[in-house]
Amino acid sequence: MPAPVNVTKATLTEIWWDTNQQAQSKSPTNKTPKTFQVQFNPQTLKLSYSNQTTGGDGSKPNASTQYTARQSTKLSLELWFDVTLAIAEGRVSKGDTGNKPDVRALTQEVAYFLIPQQADPKDKNKVAPPGIKFTWGNFEFSGVMDSMDENIDHFSPEGLPLRASVSIGITRQNIEYKPSSLLAQPSTPGTQPLLAANQGDSVQQMAAKAGASDWQSIATANNIDNPRQLSAGALLNFSI
Domains and CATH numbers, the chain: 11-55+67-184 (no CATH), 187-240 (3.10.350.10)
pLDDT at 213 over 90: no
Q: What is the pLDDT confidence band of residue 184, given thresholds at 50, 70 and 90?
A: very low
Residue 236 half-sphere exposure toward CB, CA atoms < 13 A: 33
Q: Is the pTM of this model over 0.85?
A: no
pLDDT at 46 over 90: yes
Residue 37 class from Cβ within 10 Å (0-12 exposed, 13-18 middle, 19+ buried)? middle
Q: Which of 75-79, 89-93, 153-157 has the lowest mean pLDDT?
A: 89-93
| Sign of the alpha-carbon torsion through 172, 177, 183, 185 | negative
